[in-house]
Amino acid sequence: MTNHWIDLKNSDCILVMGSNAAANHPISMKWVQRAKDKGAVLLSVDPRFTQTSAKADFYTALRSGTDVAFLGGMINYIVNNNRYFKEYVAEYTNASFIVGDKFDFADGLFSGYNKEKRSYDKSTWAYKKNDKGTIEKDPTLQNPRCVFQLMKKHYSRYAPEQVSGITGTPVEDLLKVYDIYSQTGVKDKAGTIMYAMGWTQHTVGVQNIRAMSMIQLLLGNIGIPGGGVNALRGESNVQGSTDHALLFHILPGYLKTPVSTFQTLEAYNKASAPVSNDPMSANWWQNYPKYSTSLLTAMWGDAAKKENDFGYGWLPKIDPGQNFSWLNLFDAMYDGKIKGFFAWGQNPACSGANANKVRAALAKLDWLVNVNIFDNETGSFWKAPGQDPKTIKTEVFMLPCAASMEKAGSITNSGRWAQWRYKAVNAPGDARPDGDILTDLMLRVKKLYKAGGKFPDPILNLKWDYVDAHGEFDPIAAAKQINGFFLQDKEIAGKQFKKGDLVPAFGLLQADGSTSAGNWLYTQSFNADGNNMARRGKDDPTGMGLYPKWGWAWPVNRRILYNRASVDASGKPWSPNKAIIEWKEGKWVGDVPDGPWPPMSDKEKTKYPFIMTAEGFGRVFGPGLQDGPFPEHYEPLECPIPNNPMNKQYINPTAKIFSGKMDQHLTCDPRFPFVATTYRVTEHWQTGVMTRWQPWLIEAEPQMFVEMSIELAKMRGINNGDKVKVSSPRGEVGCIAIVTTRFRPFKVAGIEVHEVGMPWSFGWITPKDGGESVNLLTPNIGDPNTMIPESKAFMVNVIKS
């Protein structure tokens, strides 16, 4: 979230699209309700009429996988009807930037496309620069090669009738949503978006969010209370796990995983820290070397010295273009290239797209360690229905771990608030906190390397002093190291710091090895003031629900990102009812500002508000993505229509398509005529590993179901409550039919298209007759930027069983 949960109450118009907040983030509706109580409008756009739709002021449907078309139409509407916030767009976004002559778009392809590699040469999307290396701009937005005009041209193709033919949304409904939402493009109104996996799990997942980010920039909704682009994270600490580099392509704090071509820390830093020739751009990432060096010293302690490049050579490197994301990992596992696997707090046998392939891949392993609080379909994959345990060689180890209330530690919510949790009870039986299991594992690996092994340095030198006097993992010690220490006495700007002092905030981190920080973004979370994540102060000085002394938010306790875009050139809020920061008597008051510099009117000392982009401006044009600088509609890998009404490309031209024996997909095929999507229910947590054992929850949602329209049910002779079989080219799942008026057929490209929806909360292990995972049906194709699978739009058949 650029903003945070409580801030939803400050909104004037809340669009819920790509999520079903009422069911999956129930408490968020408390703040949505507060906004509604003050007159805010709630819009719900979803293939299915959901619990959120039931509370909305206006609901309309779209076919799964057509969000870019829907939002592209909104951009077109905003431009044509002059609904954009002109001053904001001209001053704070890159709408005024001139794009280089090489940039072009034709037949659904941007310039620089390489058909063999299915990728773009992004250098053709570069901005035009003058002799001094600064970007050429036209603040009047009239230059035909400026971002605004290129954008206008691109989305002029997304007229309401055209969009309606793709999404299946009636034209008058499109116009109603566009009209209501774009009314927030004025100074005293804020519109916000609540999205989740309904936007991400597509081959155009990132572009869905890009399209909304463009809308938010055009309407001046970024940086202000009640605005922003807000991802509702699907797991209570998924924000924290991402910040701390759960994913392969990042190191903690969104530093880049080193590539083998960068052999020295200097080469790595140079390639990672962007350069700006514009003195008004803060270009915050120019501080990259401070953060990377502090990470290395946090990892290897005293062994990280200037002479050995602070241990940079010990970091694992990937080869250029190598991608170790989920789909690729399980593809490699299926091909027998991976021997051992830790399934830690996860259930890939049910959560992985094309789960039959995942389950087959698990059988190719030599060993599997399943760390979880309950047995699950992953740990017991070898005895699943249809499996012959005698033929499976995989040795499985089950390690019971502590549940969240059985261990202390921090948890970071969607709004970036890190909150410390105390341990309530001891874990039962042999169950241990994850930190203890990890520590035990690491110390044993170290011992083995001591006895010999290839390249032992990174293991033997690894600093691992996160153990208390009882030999148990000490989360406080880990939290302090994440914050970071001074490693020597140091004077900075006249202030003295002693060796061993906690670093007060990341502005003081150094690139010379004199500081350490396990995650620069969290520097300030645990400093001389104490464990700031454990704070429970209830003061709300701005009255806007920031609660600055409750827990701690990254970065530096800033509650609303890009908040310097909420004020005009003189530092005054665009509107008094949207005041989150203000320049008063030579300083900022309110939220922690995005940097201390004075407002834009002080041309000498100011910096542009979007400090995390090299150029300092919000990006309407996004030249960094794999699949184009402007979102364009492409059909899902599996779709119900024979061509893409928008352009000559059928699917995303950069999406990675797997083509092995188990990577089946069929598009516009009469055997699989219905669009399908997946979702969660309130009662079950992810694949249901924790909740399917809970009698009250399983009583409320006992069985796998498929929701379908009355029209589809009639066509297939299905009655409400019947047992049915849903199949895709990859598998089949037995379901109970819920025949409902909440799904309606779509008119798409002149034909009638039906859609069905299923939860992904079930699996064979429990309860009895609960049913199987919907992921036996979903395709393993990924978004080219994130490789997230397209679980939200694929094709199935439904028959009575």
Rule CB under 8 A: is residue 717 a binding residue for other proteins? no
Rule CB under 8 A: is residue 232 a binding residue for other proteins? no
Picking from 10, 12, 28, 30, the residue whose alpha carbon sits closest to that of residue 20 is: 28
State the burial class of residue 496 (Cβ atoms within 10 Å of its Cβ: 0-12, 13-18, 19+).
exposed
Helix/strand/coil for 14: strand
Name the phi and psi angles at 679, rounded to 5: -165, 180
Q: Out of 371, 738, 756, 776, which residue is the one contacting other proteins (CB under 8 A)?
A: 738
For residues 672 and 667, give the distance between their C-alpha atoms in angstroms, rounded to a whole number.
8
Long-range contact set of residues 112-119: C-beta below 8 Å, sequence gap at least 24: 113/653, 118/653, 118/654, 118/655, 118/656, 119/626, 119/654, 119/784
Q: Which is nearer to other proteins, 217 or 708 (CB)?
A: 708
Tell me, residue by residue from 49 to 88, as one string, x for binding to other proteins by CB under 8 A and - for no binding: x-xxxxx-x-x-----------------------------
For residues 217 and 238, give the distance between their C-alpha atoms in angstroms, rounded to a whole number.
26
Q: Out of 720, 751, 752, 799, which residue is the one contacting other proteins (CB under 8 A)?
A: 720
For residues 35 and 630, give the distance between their C-alpha atoms in angstroms, rounded to a whole number.
32
The minimum distance between CB 13 and other proteins, in angstroms, equals: 15
Picking from 668, 663, 626, 666, the residue whose alpha carbon sits closest to that of residue 645 is: 668
Q: Which is nearer to other proteins, 726 or 739 (CB)?
A: 739
Helix (H) or strand (E) holding 648: none
The minimum distance between CB 717 and other proteins, in angstroms, equals: 15
Which range in 229-237, 304-312, 505-513, 739-747 contacts other proteins by CB under 8 A? Answer: 739-747
Q: Which is nearer to other proteins, 513 or 767 (CB)?
A: 767
For residues 423 and 768, give the distance between their C-alpha atoms in angstroms, rounded to a whole number.
33
The minimum distance between CB 583 and other proteins, in angstroms, equals: 37
The minimum distance between CB 155 and other proteins, in angstroms, equals: 29
Q: Out of 478, 565, 698, 776, which residue is the one contacting other proteins (CB under 8 A)?
A: 698
Rule CB under 8 A: is residue 800 a binding residue for other proteins? no
Rule CB under 8 A: is residue 681 a binding residue for other proteins? yes
Bin 3: left if φ > 0, else alpha if -120 < ψ < 50, else beta.
Answer: beta
Residues 103-132 close enough to bind other proteins by CB under 8 A: none
Picking from 334, 255, 350, 261, the residue whose alpha carbon sits closest to that of residue 293 is: 255
Q: Out of 740, 766, 785, 786, which residue is the one contacting other proteins (CB under 8 A)?
A: 740
Q: Out of 157, 744, 766, 785, which residue is the one contacting other proteins (CB under 8 A)?
A: 744
The minimum distance between CB 342 and other proteins, in angstroms, equals: 33
Q: Which is nearer to other proteins, 496 or 741 (CB)?
A: 741
Q: Tokens in use for 699?
A: 């009583």
Question: Which of 369-389 are b and which e, b meaning 16 or more Cβ less than 10 Å from the residue's Cβ?
Answer: bbbbbbebbbbbbbebeebee
For residues 662 and 730, give the distance between their C-alpha atoms in angstroms, rounded to a whole number.
7
Q: Out of 386, 695, 717, 750, which residue is the one contacting other proteins (CB under 8 A)?
A: 695
Q: Which is nearer to other proteins, 30 or 102 (CB)?
A: 30
Residues 170-209 close enough to bind other proteins by CB under 8 A: none
The minimum distance between CB 163 and other proteins, in angstroms, equals: 21
DSSP calls for 234-248 = SSTTHHHHHHTT-ST
Q: Which is nearer to other proteins, 426 or 719 (CB)?
A: 719
The minimum distance between CB 33 and other proteins, in angstroms, equals: 5
Q: Out of 125, 300, 705, 746, which residue is the one contacting other proteins (CB under 8 A)?
A: 705
Residues 538-567 close enough to bind other proteins by CB under 8 A: none
Q: How far is CA 401 from the centre of its chain?
A: 26
The minimum distance between CB 591 and other proteins, in angstroms, equals: 26
Rule CB under 8 A: is residue 587 a binding residue for other proteins? no
The minimum distance between CB 27 and other proteins, in angstroms, equals: 4
Rule CB under 8 A: is residue 721 a binding residue for other proteins? yes
Q: Tokens in use for 80?
A: 């044509």
Name the phi and psi angles at 164, rounded to 5: -60, -40
Q: Which is nearer to other proteins, 76 or 414 (CB)?
A: 414
Rule CB under 8 A: is residue 8 a binding residue for other proteins? no
For residues 7 and 413, give the distance between their C-alpha atoms in angstroms, rounded to a whole number.
14
Q: Which is nearer to other proteins, 255 or 774 (CB)?
A: 774
Picking from 601, 665, 699, the residue whose alpha carbon sits closest to that of residue 795 is: 665
Assess contact for 197 and 19: CB atoms under 8 A: yes
Assess contact for 775 and 322: CB atoms under 8 A: no
Rule CB under 8 A: is residue 236 a binding residue for other proteins? no
Rule CB under 8 A: is residue 741 a binding residue for other proteins? yes
Residues 12-51 close enough to bind other proteins by CB under 8 A: 22-23, 26-27, 29-30, 33, 49, 51
Q: Tokens in use for 426?
A: 């001891």
Assess contact for 565 and 216: CB atoms under 8 A: no
Which range in 87-95, 351-359, 391-399, 719-727 contacts other proteins by CB under 8 A? Answer: 719-727
Neighbours of 320 (CB within 10 A): 9
Helix/strand/coil for 727: strand
Q: Which is nearer to other proteins, 686 or 694 (CB)?
A: 694
Q: Out of 443, 448, 700, 751, which residue is the one contacting other proteins (CB under 8 A)?
A: 700
Q: Which is nearer to other proteins, 61 or 327 (CB)?
A: 61
Neighbours of 650 (CB within 10 A): 18
User: How many chain residues interact with other proteins (CB under 8 A)?
Assistant: 43
Rule CB under 8 A: is residue 401 a binding residue for other proteins? no
Q: Which is nearer to other proteins, 27 or 469 (CB)?
A: 27
The minimum distance between CB 12 and other proteins, in angstroms, equals: 16
Helix/strand/coil for 677: strand
Q: Which is nearer to other proteins, 21 or 371 (CB)?
A: 21
Q: Which is nearer to other proteins, 431 or 738 (CB)?
A: 738
Instruction: Annotate 42-93 with three-state secondary structure.
Output: EEEECCCCCHHHHHCCEEECCCCCCHHHHHHHHHHHHHHCCCCCHHHHHHHE
Is it true that the peptide bond before 26 is cis, omega within 30 degrees of 0? Answer: no
For residues 706 and 723, give the distance between their C-alpha atoms in angstroms, rounded to a whole number.
10
Rule CB under 8 A: is residue 703 a binding residue for other proteins? yes
Q: Which is nearer to other proteins, 36 or 359 (CB)?
A: 36
The minimum distance between CB 18 and other proteins, in angstroms, equals: 18
The minimum distance between CB 741 and other proteins, in angstroms, equals: 5
Rule CB under 8 A: is residue 742 a binding residue for other proteins? yes
For residues 642 and 650, give the distance between their C-alpha atoms in angstroms, rounded to a whole number.
9
Q: Which is nearer to other proteins, 24 or 213 (CB)?
A: 24
Output the CA torsion sign for 137, 141, 147, 153. negative
Name the phi and psi angles at 207, rounded to 5: -70, -25
Q: Which is nearer to other proteins, 176 or 549 (CB)?
A: 176
Neighbours of 683 (CB within 10 A): 19
The minimum distance between CB 45 and other proteins, in angstroms, equals: 14
Q: Which is nearer to other proteins, 278 or 711 (CB)?
A: 711
The minimum distance between CB 693 and other proteins, in angstroms, equals: 11
Q: Which is nearer to other proteins, 90 or 736 (CB)?
A: 736
For β-strands 495-497 and 490-492, DSSP reports them as: antiparallel
Residues that bind other proteins (CB under 8 A): 22-23, 26-27, 29-30, 33, 49, 51-55, 57, 59, 681-683, 694-705, 719-722, 736-742, 744, 769
